[in-house]
Amino acid sequence: ELLTLRREIAELRDVLILMKKSGYQMRMPERKYRLLKMLTGISIREEFALRLCEKAEDMDSLLEILSKEIRTVDPGGSSKMVLLFGPTGSGKTSTIIKLASQAIKRGERIAIISLDSYKMGGAEQVRAYTRILNIPFARVFDADETKRALSRFNNIDRVFIDTAGRHPSDRRYLDQLKRLCRSDLPIETHLIMSASSDNDFLTESYRYYKEMDIDCLGFTKLDESVNRGCIYNLSLIYSRPIAYLTTGQRIPNDILFPDSRTVARLILENNDNKIRPNKGVSQ
């Protein structure tokens, strides 16, 4: 199904330029045109929006289609080590504290490693939270030190690894992460992106992050986002499931572990609506 989806998207990209020249919007049925304008208005890429309009007749059917195309997954699973990475300002540190707090609630023994050789403040922020949570903490500066730190946590159920926020084009940063992820360690990788970031920047980041072995996606700052179409765009571009969404600054509360329908609803709903858990969402 993913191969079929990618082929359809590639074909639409090629056709879109020709369609624009022929004034395709003027020939669309009114209800389809309204759907198209709504989808592009929430920052869903035009080729993706056209594909959705071909299949959907109204908002109800659109919600059903999105629910089927968006995949979600339970974060962590059986992996002992969970690494979060992503652009500067994406909210990795606060997210990792929320995830650690949720794991502690489940009765797991947790440790946190800060792989941050760039920003002293980031590591100290994590250290402060680990003291509050009374869990082990280690600060490391490269992949080799990370492996040595992990060897000290044999009695821990899950180790969360926080990383520095860097621009995705930073080659040194990516190479360091790739060395760690492609080692023999059972690490699950979460790409963290802010839903409030520029949609073009997030899409462009794919050029660099596609080199990584990404297991799932996490989207932060939904409470600050004007449009949430980037969530749909990136779930298709990366072909990876969504593990969680964060919706505010409160730790550990403002994090959702939604099902696909809830993600679709949050993408389509008016941004003025309050984000709140419903059926299929856990906190």
> What digits encode the pLDDT tens for the residues 95-121?
999 999 999 998 999 999 998 756 556
Q: Which residues of the chain have pLDDT under 70?
A: 1-28, 76-78, 117-122, 270-283
User: What do you get for the CA distance between the two ends of the chain, in Å?
Assistant: 31
CA distance 117 to 125: 14
The answer to whether residues 179 and 143 touch, using CB atoms and an 8 Å cutoff, is yes
Q: For residues 207, 213, 219 and 225, what is the CA-based torsion angle, rounded to 10 degrees? A: 0
pLDDT of residue 95: 94
User: Of 225, 186, 199, nearest to 91 (Cα)?
Assistant: 225
Domain borders along the chain are 2-69, 81-268
pLDDT of residue 101: 92
Helix, strand or coil, per DSSP, at residue 125: helix
pLDDT of residue 20: 53
Helix, strand or coil, per DSSP, at residue 154: coil
Instruction: List b or e across 101-120, with b for residues whose CB sees 16 or more CB atoms inside 10 angstroms.
Output: bbbbeeeeebbbbbbbbeee
Residue 273 exposure: Cα atoms within 13 Å on the Cβ side: 11
Structure pTM? Answer: 0.84
- Tell me the CATH number for domain 81-268: 3.40.50.300
pLDDT of residue 271: 43
Q: How far is CA 263 from the centre of its chain?
A: 12
The answer to whether residues 141 and 117 touch, using CB atoms and an 8 Å cutoff, is yes
The answer to whether residues 190 and 215 touch, using CB atoms and an 8 Å cutoff, is yes
Cα angle 263, 269, 272; round to 5: 125
